Amino acid sequence: MERALKQHEIAQLLPHRFPFCFVDSVHELVTGERVVASKNVSSNEPFFPGHFPAQPLMPGVLICEALAQAAALLAHHALRAEQSTKVVVLSGIDAARFRRPVLPGDQLRLEVRVVRRRAPLWKFHGVATVDGQVVAEADVLLSETEQVAL
């Protein structure tokens, strides 16, 4: 079933919080298949003063993190639907490519789809766009694990 998620639903599926949550909204989610989410890139992001002071741009590794968080949200949603108590953790990023800079004021659109799932491993392909133009893409690898109390 395709649906959008509200902010409180995102917070239930992702453990990340400000300033390290890079999914602001979920526009479409098809359980176990794909997700379309977005990150509003504010001029007040804590990474801009250091990357780079005269010409701020979002670090590529954080674009990959945004894609990984969207993938994790999709996986956690599927695991909850299966009544699983497992969580997913980032195992790797493959074939990352950066095409254009992401600047203050941009809205980063995150489109992630499941490529393969063979428990405990998940493979996703993610594409990040701004105004319909591809800015980055990568394959995201996640592993299912038991939740550990910290």
HEC string of the chain equals CEEEECHHHHHHHCCCCCCCCCCCEEEEEECCCEEEEEEECCCCCCCHHHCCCCCCCCCHHHHHHHHHHHHHHHHHHHHHHCCCCEEEEEEEEEEEEECCCCCCCCEEEEEEEEEEEECCEEEEEEEEEECCEEEEEEEEEEEEEECCCC
Whole-prediction pTM: 0.96
| Residue labelled with tokens 């939740």 | 147
Residue 150 has pLDDT above 70, yes or no: no
Nearest by Cα to 85 from 147, 26, 8: 147
Structure confidence at residue 147 as a pLDDT band (50, 70, 90): confident
pLDDT digits (tens, 9 = 90+) for 10-53: 999 999 999 999 999 999 999 999 999 999 999 999 999 999 99
Could you say which of 8, 16, 27, 51 is catalytic?
51
Res. 1: pLDDT tops 80? no
Give pLDDT tens digits for 79-108.
999 999 999 999 999 999 999 999 999 999
- The confidence score (pLDDT) of residue 101 equals 98
Pairing mode, strands 107-118 and 121-130: antiparallel
Q: Give the pLDDT score at 149.
A: 67
Between residues 3 and 71, the one the model is more confident about: 71
Known catalytic membership, residue 51? yes
What's the pLDDT at 3?
83
Instruction: Note the pLDDT of residue 142.
Output: 98
pLDDT digits (tens, 9 = 90+) for 56-70: 999 999 999 999 999
Band of the pLDDT at 148, cuts 50, 70, 90? confident
Rounded CA Rg of the chain: 15
2-146 has which fold? Thiol Ester Dehydrase; Chain A (3.10.129)
